[in-house]
Structure 1
Amino acid sequence: MKITVIILRTLLGLVFLVFGLQFFFHFLPMPQPVLPAKAAAFSGGLFGSGYFFQYMKVIEIICGIFLLINRCTAFFLLVLFPITVNIFLYHTILAPAGMPMGVVLLLIHLFLGFAYGKYYKPIFTTNPTV
C-alpha cells in the first residue's frame, strides 16, 4: 500500500505540476481539440475573466510541488480536490472525449484521500470545542 501511495502521489503531483507549467510556458506540443459548444463557452468564460486560469494554474503548480516533495500532503490534496472534481465533471459532461483522463485523476485523488484519511478525521468532529 505504501509503494502504491508514493507512486500515485508522485503521479498526481507530476500531472498538476507539468500541466500547470504548460499553461504558462507551452513546452509540450499539444494540438487544440475542437471543443463542443458548451465546453467552449465554459472555457471562454473562464479565460474571459482575465484571472481565473492563471490563479488556478499557480495553485496546481504549488500543490504539485508539495505532493512531489511530500510535505503537507493531506492539505494540498484537499486544496486540489475541487480542481480534480471540476476536471472530471468538465470531461464527463462538457467534453466527453477527455473522460478517461478525468476518471483516472478522480480515482487517484479518491484513493489518496482514503490513504491519508486519518489526517481528515479531525475535520469531521461533530461537536468542536474551543
Structure 2
Amino acid sequence: MKQKITFVLSLLFGLFFINAGLDKFFHYMPMPDKISDDMMKAMTGMMAVTWLMPLIAVAEILGGLLIIFPKTRALGALIIVPIMVGILLTNTVTDASGFPIAAVFTAVLLWIIYDNRAKYAPLIEE
C-alpha cells in the first residue's frame, strides 16, 4: 500500500513539474489576472536573465521525469530540491498566496527524499 501511495504522489509531483517546465517553453497556461506588484517585479527580474528560465525549465522537466520512475526517483528529487527551495522562498517572501500549494509540494518532496534516504547514505558517509 505504501508503494502505491508513493508512486501516485511521485507521479502527480513529476507531472506537475514536467507541465511547469514545458509551460516555460511553450507558454500554454494563462497568466493569473491579479499578480501583486512584488511578484511582478520578481518575475521581471528573473526574465531579464535570459538563460535562467530555460535552465529552470530543463531542470523541472528532467527532475519530473526522473521522479516518476522508482529507480531514478532519488536523483530526480536532488534535481528538484533547489527549484523547490526557490518556489518556497518566492511564496513565502514575495507573495504568500501560493504558499499552501508550495507547502504541500515541499512535503511530498521531503517524503520522497525520506523514502529514498538509503540511496543518499553514500553521499554523506565519511
TM above 0.5, one fold?
yes
Which shows bigger deviation, 46-55 or 70-79? 70-79
Q: Which residue of 2 aligns with 1:15?
A: 16
Could you give the per-residue CA deviations for residues 35-90 of structure 1, whole angstroms, max 9, x where no partner exists?
232x3332222110111011111111122122224442101111111111110111
- Note the C-alpha offset of 1:32: 4.5
Superposition pairs for residues 43-58 of structure 1, below 5 Å? Answer: 43-58=43-58
TM-score by length of 2: 0.89
For 2:91 and 2:34, locate their aligned partners in 1 and report how far apart those are by CA, in whole Å: 13
Q: Which runs of 5+ in 1 are unaligned?
A: none
Q: 1:54 to 1:32 in 2, by over 3 A?
A: farther
Larger radius of gyration between Structure 1 and Structure 2: 1
Q: Equivalent residue of 1:31, what SS? A: coil
Identity %: 26
- Verify the 8 A CA contact 1:9 1:112 in the aligned structure 2: yes
Could you give the per-residue CA deviations for residues 72-122 of structure 1, whole angstroms, max 9, x where no partner exists?
210111111111111011111111111111111101100111011110111
How much is the aligned-residue C-alpha RMSD, in angstroms? 1.6
The count of corresponding residues between Structure 1 and Structure 2 is: 125
Q: Which residue of 2 aligns with 1:87?
A: 87
Q: Which runs of 5+ in 2 are unaligned?
A: none
- Verify the 8 A CA contact 2:17 2:61 in the aligned structure 1: yes
- Which structure has greater helix proportion? 2
- Verify the 8 A CA contact 2:67 2:75 in the aligned structure 1: no
TM-score by length of 1: 0.87
For 1:8 and 1:120, locate their aligned partners in 2 and report how far apart those are by CA, in whole Å: 20
